[in-house]
Amino acid sequence: MKFFIDTANLDQIKEAQDLGVLDGVTTNPSLMAKEGITGHDNILKHYIDICNIVDGDVSAEVISTDFEGMVREGEALAELHDQIVVKLPMIKDGVKACKYFSEKGIKTNVTLVFSVGQALLAAKAGATYVSPFIGRLDDISTDGLNLISEIRHVYDNYAFDTEILAASVRHTMHVIDCAKLGADVMTGPLSSIEGLLKHPLTDIGLAKFLADYKKGN
């Protein structure tokens, strides 16, 4: 399972990279705005800064909602750095743009996916990644994890290459459950990754090992 961090915060990206388990980064316009990154040139520079920290894929989202605009924006984003993945919304022109980029060998991430039908369309259009938003489904009393399970089933039926990128991951149990269900990738906050470290018996056991060592020295 690949671990992506879902943030535009450079300090958190560095921290996750330093842990040695980071495979990539996802961003969206809201995450950019949260870091105060505004304006076309600043946003492009920020993508390059992120690429220079991590080794893996960095999703950069288009703002256009029409095919021509998405193609123009996506091509410019892809030229920024070879780690950039063009993030496209799950709308009609987004599907068309996904097909266009997949035929050109440019990686894509189809975002804002909330149903198995949408995930099927993304795979048919050759998406590199499909991003089902599990946390936002949970927010409206719908089982986000069930969507991961359904997409896994459908993709396996036809051996689609599209990777299931569990997005809108909110906490550590989401990460564990997505791993059990066979999601290829998860993207979440740093806390959802660091939470995997924690077990009270580890802390108790380490404290005892260190205390026993001191007794003998």
User: Rule CB under 6 A: which residues touch ligand E4P?
Assistant: 6, 26, 28, 111, 131, 133, 135-136, 167-168, 187
Question: For residue 40, what are the contacts with CB-CB under 8 A and spacing of at least 6?
Answer: none
Q: Tell me 20's DSSP state.
A: T
Q: Which residue of the chain is nearest ligand E4P when measured via CB?
A: 168
- Hey, what's the torsion of the CAs at 5, 31, 41, 61, to 10 degrees? 70
CB of 131 to ligand E4P, least distance (A): 5
**What is the smallest separation between the CB atom of 200 and ligand E4P, expressed in angstroms?**
28
Smallest gap from residue 47 Cβ to ligand E4P (A):
14
How far apart, in whole angstroms, are the C-alpha atoms of residue 92 and residue 86? 16
CB of 168 to ligand E4P, least distance (A): 3
Strand partners, 2: 185
How many C-beta atoms lie closer than 10 Å to residue 32's C-beta? 19
Cα 18 to Cα 14: distance, rounded to the nearest angstrom: 6
Instruction: Out of 2, 87, 99, 208, pick the active-site residue.
Output: 87
Would you give the distance in Å from CA 92 to the centre of its chain?
A: 22
Distance of closest approach, residue 64 Cβ to ligand E4P, in angstroms = 17
Helix residue ranges, H only, the chain: 10-19, 29-34, 40-53, 67-80, 92-103, 116-124, 134-139, 144-158, 172-181, 190-194, 200-215
Signed CA dihedral, 63, 69, 74, 80: sign only: negative
Q: Look up 87 and say whether it is catalytic.
A: yes
Residue 56 vs 135, nearer CB to ligand E4P: 135
Nearer to ligand E4P, 162 or 168 (CB): 168
Catalytic positions are 87
